[in-house]
Structure 1
Amino acid sequence: MRKFLFFVLFSCLVFFSCNFTPGNKDKCVVGKKVEIIRYDKVLNEYVEFNSFSALQKMNTEYLLETKYLIEDVLRLGQVNDDKINEKLKVFYSDSTLRKLSADALAKYSDMSEVEKGFSRGFRKLKKEVPSFKIPRVYSQVSALNESVVVGDSLLGFSIDKYMGEDYPLYKQYFYDYQLKSMKPERILPDCFNFYLQSEYPLPEQGKGRLIDVMIHLGTIHYIVSKILDYKTLGEELDYTKDEEAWCDHNRKNIWEYILQNGHLNSTDPMLLRKYMKPAPHTAFFGDNSPMMVGTWMGMQIVDSYMKSHKEMSLKELLEITDYSKMLADARFNP
Structure 2
Amino acid sequence: MKPQNLLLLIIMCLLTVACRMGTGENAQLQNKENGINVIRYDKLLNEYVRSNSFSALQKMNMDYRQPTKILIEEVLGLGQVSDDTISQKLKKFYSDTTLLRLMADVEIRYPNLDEVEKGLTKGFENLRKEIPSFHTPVVYSQISAFNESVVLSDTLLGISLDKYMGEDYPLYKRFYYEYQCRSMRPDRIVPDCFVFYLMSYYPFPFQEGSCLLDQMMHSGKINYAVKKLLEYGSTGDAMGYSETEEKWCRENEKYIWEYMLKNRHLYARDPMVVRKYMKPAPFTAFFGENAPALIGTWMGTRIVSAYMKNHKDVSLQQLLETTDYHRMLEESKYLN
User: Structure 1-normalised TM-score?
Assistant: 0.89
Q: Which deviates the most, 44-53 or 298-307?
A: 44-53
Residue 322 of structure 2: which of 320, 323, 330 is its match?
320
Q: Residues 176-187 of structure 1 correspond to what in structure 2 (within 5 A)?
A: 176-187=178-189
Cross-structure match for 1:218: 220
Cross-structure match for 2:332: 330
User: Could you tell me the percent identity over the aligned residues?
Assistant: 56
Give the secondary structure class of the aligned counterpart of 1:168.
coil
Letter in 2 for 1:316: Q
Cross-structure match for 2:305: 303
Give the secondary structure class of the aligned counterpart of 1:138.
strand
Cross-structure match for 2:153: 151
- The offset of 1:270, in angstroms, is 2.2
| Contact in 1 for aligned 2:236/2:298 (Cα 8 Å) | yes
C-alpha distance in 1 between matches for 2:91 and 2:23? 28
C-alpha distance in 2 between matches for 1:289 and 1:28? 41
Question: What per-residue deviation string (whole Å, max 9, x for no partner) do you get for residues 167-194 of structure 1?
Answer: 1111111111111111110000111101
- The offset of 1:23, in angstroms, is 7.4
C-alpha distance in 1 between matches for 2:265 and 2:233? 30
Question: CA 1:185 to 1:20, structure 2 compared with 1: closer, same or farther past 3 Å?
Answer: farther
Report the RMSD for the aligned CA atoms in angstroms: 2.0
| Contact in 1 for aligned 2:245/2:292 (Cα 8 Å) | yes
Give the secondary structure class of the aligned counterpart of 2:151.
strand
Q: Which deviates the most, 265-274 or 130-139?
A: 265-274
C-alpha distance in 1 between matches for 2:246 and 2:224? 15
Question: What per-residue deviation string (whole Å, max 9, x for no partner) do you get for residues 182-240 of structure 1?
Answer: 11100001111011101111125674311111011100011101111111111111111
Structure with larger Rg:
2
Gaps of 5+ in 1: 1-18
Question: What per-residue deviation string (whole Å, max 9, x for no partner) do you get for residues 48-85 of structure 1?
Answer: 11122221222232222112211222122222222111
User: Is residue 138 of structure 2 the alignment partner of residue 133 of structure 1?
Assistant: no
Question: What per-residue deviation string (whole Å, max 9, x for no partner) do you get for residues 75-109 of structure 1?
Answer: 22222222111011011111221111011012111
Between Structure 1 and Structure 2, the one with more helix by share is 2
Letter in 2 for 1:94: D
Q: Which deviates the most, 161-170 or 185-194?
A: 161-170
Give the secondary structure class of the aligned counterpart of 1:157.
strand
User: Structure 2-normalised TM-score?
Assistant: 0.88
Letter in 2 for 1:298: G
C-alpha distance in 2 between matches for 1:181 and 1:133? 27
| Contact in 2 for aligned 1:206/1:212 (Cα 8 Å) | no
Relative CO higher for 1 or 2, CA cutoff 8 Å, sep ≥ 6? 1
- The offset of 1:152, in angstroms, is 1.7
Cross-structure match for 1:70: 72
Question: CA 1:206 to 1:298, structure 2 compared with 1: closer, same or farther past 3 Å?
Answer: farther
Give the secondary structure class of the aligned counterpart of 2:204.
coil
Cross-structure match for 2:296: 294
Aligned pairs, number: 314
